[in-house]
Structure 1
Amino acid sequence: MAGVLSGIKVLDLSRILAGPWCTQLLADLGADVVKIERPGTGDDTRAWGPPFAEGLDGAPSAESAYFLAANRGKRSVAVDFSTAAGQEIVRTLAKSTDVVVENLKYGDMRRYGLDYESLRILNPGLIYCSITGFGQTGPYRERAGYDFVIQAMGGLMSITGESDDRSGGGPQKCGVPIADMMTGMYATVAILGALHERQTSNSGQYIDMSLLDTQVGWLANHGLNYMVSGKPPKRWGNAHPNLCPYQSFPASDGHLIVAVGNDRQFRALCRVLSMPSIGIDSRFATNSARLANRDSLVDQIEQCLRTKSRDEWLSALEEAGVPAGPINTVAQALEEPHVVSRGMVFSMEHGIGVCVPQIANPIKFSRTGIEYLRPPPILGEHTSEILESIGLTQKNLEELHASGVIHGRDRYPIDAG
């Protein structure tokens, strides 16, 4: 069944992660995404390995795992739009496109004549989304933006990691490039909103997405904790600033998470631990009291949990209705029976002739479904196919290829091997 964005055309001029993450989500929802890449090198992340997917001979291919993670569902056209001929190709594609996504530095698209103001003349209904580190306005707009820098500047690292007074204390970045990914997701939401609004206005619009804005925007309770109290949040490691006990604990053979969200769950925890008196102790009876006496409570719980194995405790806590879980490795997470049953891991036949693994989109529609129509593309895999569809002849393609403006792998003589 067709996806919810079936019929929507997206021109993806982005690279690395924030933009590609957005356009992969749009592709999963059924949009037709054409990814424009630099001839010869393509998206920077194609070279961000190892690991690289194995080819037919078992040796590493040119397809990095990083690229495979964010470019499913797209068709690749290798066009150098720093050239006049390449710019004209992009303009022609934009005429029949619903959405353009780009994440070049501030001012670059204007210099190429491919900015929103230029393209909207050709296509008044165009929705154009720019993703940069710092946005299109403000004193930092010309700075290059990188996820690691944004995590630091946006306050995330100040609340991530152990506190300074503990072993290993100090600010830490998130284990995944979360500022990039969240900006890509917010960009997707913005694009979907603009597409909906266009149905009544018949007009496109410009979307200005900033990694720093996004990072500040999802500080959530930590941001409001500071704004209400005036006290800067501290790093709590695996503990929670507003709940207790809500952290990791060591068992006899590993670690588990106990996440008590209310007083009823706390009393249930105390019964599992055979410590009912703590459940009615005035120092711990309410969440506010537990926060005030956090160190004493955590110490007693930790001593008890060390007496049995992780899985013994998890089984008992689940039966009692206390939220808890294991601290899995990535391998263990992907092998969790529940994760497998939900179809979160699958593979796709790739153009290199082998199946490549994928992590599924977590959205579960009741009727329309998610589409996985294409694997992550080989660089230039669809160059001839797409450019012929906008009127270029085989002779045009040969001339553009000879001049280095385009590269293709989808048809001889465009295929350069």
Structure 2
Amino acid sequence: MTDSRALRGVRVLDLTRVLAGPFCGQILGDLGAEVIKIERPGVGDDGRMYGFSQLKDREGKATRESAFYLTANRNKKSVTVNISKPEGQALIRRLAAECDVLIENYKVGNLKRYGLDYDSLKQVNPGLVYCSITGYGQTGPMAERPGYDGLFQTTGGLMAVTGIPDGQPGAGPLKAGPSLVDVFTGHNAAIAVLGALNQRHQTGKGQYIDVALLDCSIAMVSHIMQDYLVSGVAPPRLGNGGNGGGPADLINCADGIIYISAGTDEHWRLLCELMKRPDLFADPRFDTNPKRGRNRNELVAIIIEWSKHWKTADLLASLDQLGVPAARYNNLPEVWEDEQVRHRRLKVTIPHPVSGEVSLIASPLAFMSGSPMQYAAPPTIGQHTDEVLHDLLDLPAEEIARLHETGIV
């Protein structure tokens, strides 16, 4: 069968751990690149021990494969190399010479000590696309500081616009549940790598890419930050309220919660019609989107007084029939029972060498008509060490055995 994956033939050396960098590597792997993940012998990616849950083996015992690790490391090969040793550094240089892309998220300057920085590696591979992912970037007064997602949700403004509005019970800034800055940074790094590969097609030369969580965290605030830049006034936290047209908020029903997003004047008119309150459409408090935004608390209270007498399914069906956007609130188990989620096959179950099988969140890139998605389970520590050293670097079995014995791999 012809291999039609979008990045077929691209080889990536992944020297990242935890989340942002691994997400970048996983995206490239999902698109068909061969991704060689470098891990510390006996220890592996720090992310293998993060989070709340560990994958169980066939006997029901916890393994070192954490759910946190599983979310960002499929479609990779794991090779263990001790890069603190000169012989390990030499292996990385040899691997980099055979790769198109290198991604890393070491602290600024750490890899330069080992001769594994971009300026060193481009001497052996001028076409190498080298992407560094750090908290604060490669330059500036804070460049050498380590950083994690929550710090950048705090610093970049995301927490300033997330949480319960002032004056309400529980008011204050709130961190988003998932590590969104890490994930967003991983996506941006992957896009930058793809752009650099495309330019290399034209010039034959690689380049250096500096991606920072700080930069990405500010970009994530997007239109709300732009509102501030235009007006000079910081928009308030809106709780569950929408940022555009409205009313948009969580609405209580008799047996559950839904989210209504009546984003246009026509949606609002149709909602008023369903509520049998045409007077609200002409009400001077609510007759424009900006007014509905300013008076959102008063308006949502009116809607909830009406919606609390409806069953969730009935109200969603009525709103859908009218064309007013709305969705049921799902807890995590309910997400996987949602009929559209099931139709889109957003959970994939694939073989795993330790547990027998593992369920993963599907790639959002799976629906590319000319590049069908293929999934390989996140590798165990060093699962592909011998294979890569033999097949890619042409090392004999005796040499590989010696590297194992001396702790280099």
TM-score, normalisation: structure 1: 0.95
Alignment partner of 1:401 out of 393, 401, 404: 404
Give the conservation status (yes or no) of the 8 Å contact 2:158–2:220. no
**Alpha-carbon offset, residue 124 of structure 1:** 0.2
Matched residue SS, 1:129: strand
Give the conservation status (yes or no) of the 8 Å contact 1:23–1:33. yes
Identical pairs, percent:
42
User: 2: CA distance between counterparts of 1:247 and 1:50?
Assistant: 31
- Letter of the structure 2 residue corresponding to residue 252 of structure 1: A
User: 1: CA distance between counterparts of 2:316 and 2:404?
Assistant: 61
Give the conservation status (yes or no) of the 8 Å contact 1:128–1:205. yes
Alignment partner of 2:278 out of 257, 276, 279: 276
Aligned match of 2:150: 148
Give the conservation status (yes or no) of the 8 Å contact 2:82–2:88. yes
Q: How does 1:249-260 map to 2 (within 5 A)?
A: 249-260=251-262
User: 2: CA distance between counterparts of 1:287 and 1:49?
Assistant: 41
User: 2: CA distance between counterparts of 1:234 and 1:282?
Assistant: 23
- Letter of the structure 2 residue corresponding to residue 256 of structure 1: I
Q: How does 1:204-219 map to 2 (within 5 A)?
A: 204-219=206-221
Per-residue Cα deviation, 1:374-407 (whole angstroms, up to 9, x for no partner): 211010001111111202222212221111111x
- Letter of the structure 2 residue corresponding to residue 381 of structure 1: Q
Matched residue SS, 1:70: coil
Alignment partner of 2:372 out of 369, 372, 375: 369
Per-residue Cα deviation, 1:283-333 (whole angstroms, up to 9, x for no partner): 322212323433332221121111112222111111110000111111111
User: 2: CA distance between counterparts of 1:236 and 1:2?
Assistant: 45
User: 1: CA distance between counterparts of 2:77 and 2:293?
Assistant: 53
- Letter of the structure 1 residue corresponding to residue 220 of structure 2: W
Matched residue SS, 2:173: coil
Aligned match of 1:2: 4
Give the conservation status (yes or no) of the 8 Å contact 2:14–2:35. yes
- Letter of the structure 2 residue corresponding to residue 391 of structure 1: D
User: 1: CA distance between counterparts of 2:267 and 2:132?
Assistant: 45
**Unaligned ranges ≥5, structure 1:** 407-417
Alignment partner of 1:351 out of 334, 350, 353: 353
**Unaligned ranges ≥5, structure 2:** none
Aligned match of 1:43: 45
**Alpha-carbon offset, residue 30 of structure 1:** 0.3
User: 2: CA distance between counterparts of 1:295 and 1:329?
Assistant: 25
Give the conservation status (yes or no) of the 8 Å contact 1:27–1:371. no
Aligned match of 2:229: 227
User: 1: CA distance between counterparts of 2:104 and 2:73?
Assistant: 14
TM-score, normalisation: structure 2: 0.96
Moved more, 46-55 or 135-144: 46-55
Residue 34 (str. 1) matches residue 36 (str. 2): yes
Per-residue Cα deviation, 1:153-203 (whole angstroms, up to 9, x for no partner): 001011111023211211111110000000000001100101111101000
Residue 106 (str. 1) matches residue 108 (str. 2): yes
Q: RMSD between aligned alpha carbons?
A: 1.2
- Letter of the structure 2 residue corresponding to residue 283 of structure 1: R
Matched residue SS, 2:164: coil
User: 2: CA distance between counterparts of 1:361 and 1:81?
Assistant: 31
User: 2: CA distance between counterparts of 1:265 and 1:356?
Assistant: 42
Alignment partner of 1:392 out of 390, 395, 407: 395
Moved more, 153-162 or 302-311: 302-311
User: 2: CA distance between counterparts of 1:206 and 1:106?
Assistant: 14
Moved more, 311-320 or 123-132: 311-320
